[in-house]
Structures are given as structure tokens and as C-alpha cells.
Amino acid sequence: MQTTFAVKNYDLAATLASGQAFRWRSIDDVWEGIVAGRWVRLHQQHDSILAETVLAGSGWQWLLHYLQLDVDLAAVLDAFPKDAPMMAAAEACRGLRLLRQDPWECLASFICSSNKQIVQIQQIVELLCQRFGEPVEVPPGRELAFAFPTIASIAEVSESDLRACKMGFRAPYVLGTAQMIGRGELDLEKLRDLPLAQARAELLKFPGVGRKIADCVLLFAYGFPTAFPVDVWVMKALRELYFPRRRVKLKRLHHFSETHFGPHAGYAQQYLFHYMRTRKRAATK
């Protein structure tokens, strides 16, 4: 079962590899991943994305939503501040998008992300899925693939089971979070209806979740447009591009992020993040 989506100003490769989701693998610009429990293969050709999956009859809404194909990117970019750093980032990251992910997968993945490189996060998440995820249907002859583990399936494993997935000191955090949700202490679906600050306060109750990881989940899963995760890269971007040769504290950077980047600050953050990472990579080669 396959279809084609017309897209404009969409860079699929940059989007899937920009550190928001960790389960995509590519071979020759063909991307394979699991979305909403479904195996998917994506391939971009100019102004279209070819999508292929195995389950018939369930439509494509789940994928449209995940890829956020209805977002008017021109309107988003137009809301960016017209300063030199932001214009440079927008120019360098044409077509970069924000995905809309499942809250639990996003939360658990980013708990595993703390003080880890993206390649290592990918490895941890993959091990987690192979060990505790349900197998999903794949095309004939293809190697097995697994869904992201459910909250309940993680809540009942042991800490050492999780440490076997190479997540180290993050294991009790993932376990504790799954157990809190499993006990009903906190409902991830309820967060959708809350204002940003309240939703963030709820996420901060989970072990291993601080301001940065909370903002990642708020932006990448719940779609709060002004959530602005400040990691080491974004901090570097803000300091170098907006506060050169000044020692600016994180607290002030948060205030700056809330007042300077407008109604789509979260998108601006992703552009700065990707801009810094790709710029450095180009400079060192």
C-alpha cells in the first residue's frame, strides 16, 4: 500500500535526522521507521513524498499528522524575528520541519537523551524497542521491526532490564516515569488541554525530567508552539549569535527565548539547533 503526498518547502531528510525523533534509518535517501505502530518507508522526490506501508484500509491521517504536512511553513518563517542570526539559520535549514510525535515515546526517548549524543540515543531507543516492543507487520522478507514499548510493558520490567539497553543511570528514571503513569498519578493525554506552563509543571514531576526535556516533549509531541528547549547546542547558538563575549546565565537565555522569537519560537529553536550542528559539521570536514 503506497501513496504520494505533494509537498512544498519540506526537507524530509533534514527533518527526520534533526534529533527530534530517534527511530528513522536511511539508505540512499530512503527512510524507514515506525509511526503509530506502523512500519513506514518514505522517499522524497522534489515536491513529493512517496509513502509506503503494509496495513491496508486505515488511511493516511496518522502519517499526515506525524509529518505535519498541513503546516504552512512560510507563515512560520514569516513569524521569525528578522535579525541576522535567525535569517541565516532559516536560509541554511530550508524545509526543516517539526514533527508531531506520540507523547509517551517522545517522553521516554528524551529521558534517555540526557547527556547523550544523538547516535547513542538512537541505539538506546532501538534496544528498548527490540527488547520490550511488540513486533509490527513488515513487508515480506524484511527483517523484524518493533513498535515502541507501551507504558505498561515498561512499568513491569526491572531496572537492570533497562540498564541492559545501555541507558545507564537513566534506567530508574524511565522505569519510575512509566510506573507513575501506570498508577494513574499523571495522565499524558490530559496535558493537551493545559496551558504551556501548567503542562510543563506536570512533566517536571517525572523523575529524570527537567526543564529541557519537558520542553522537548511539549514541542515535539504536544505541539506547544512556543516551547523552547535549551540544550548545549541551542545555548551555544544563543550565546554566540545573540550575546557574544558576554557571560549570560541560562535563566536569562530562557527569558530571551520567551520574549524574542515570537509565536513560533519552538520552530526558531529547531532552526538554531540544526543550523549550529550542520555548520560545525561542515567546518570540520
Binding site for DNA (CB under 7 A): 18-20, 110, 113-121, 123, 163, 166, 168-169, 173, 207-214, 216, 229-234, 249, 251, 269-270, 273, 284
**Least separation in angstroms between CB 244 and DNA:** 18
Cα separation of 146 and 133, whole Å?
5
- In Å, how far from its chain's centre is CA 257? 19
In angstroms, what is the minimal distance from the CB of 123 to DNA? 7
| SS3 (DSSP) at 116 | coil
Catalytic residue among 212, 236, 249, 285: 212
Nearer to DNA by Cβ, of 2 and 115: the residue is 115
Cell readout for 252 is 536569562
Q: Which is nearer to DNA, 2 or 259 (CB)?
A: 259
Smallest separation, CB 58 to DNA (Å): 29
Task: Give the H or E element holding residue 16.
Answer: helix 12-16
Measured from the CB atom, the residue of 52 and 231 that comes closer to DNA is 231
CA 267/CA 120 separation, integer angstroms: 24
CA 139 from chain centre, in angstroms, equals: 26
Cβ closest to DNA, residue 44 vs residue 114: 114
The grid coordinates listed for 218 are: 511539549
Rounded to an integer, what distance in angstroms lies between the CA atom of residue 221 and that of residue 223?
6
CB of 27 to DNA, least distance (A): 18
Query: 212 catalytic, yes or no?
Result: yes
Q: Which residues are catalytic?
A: 212
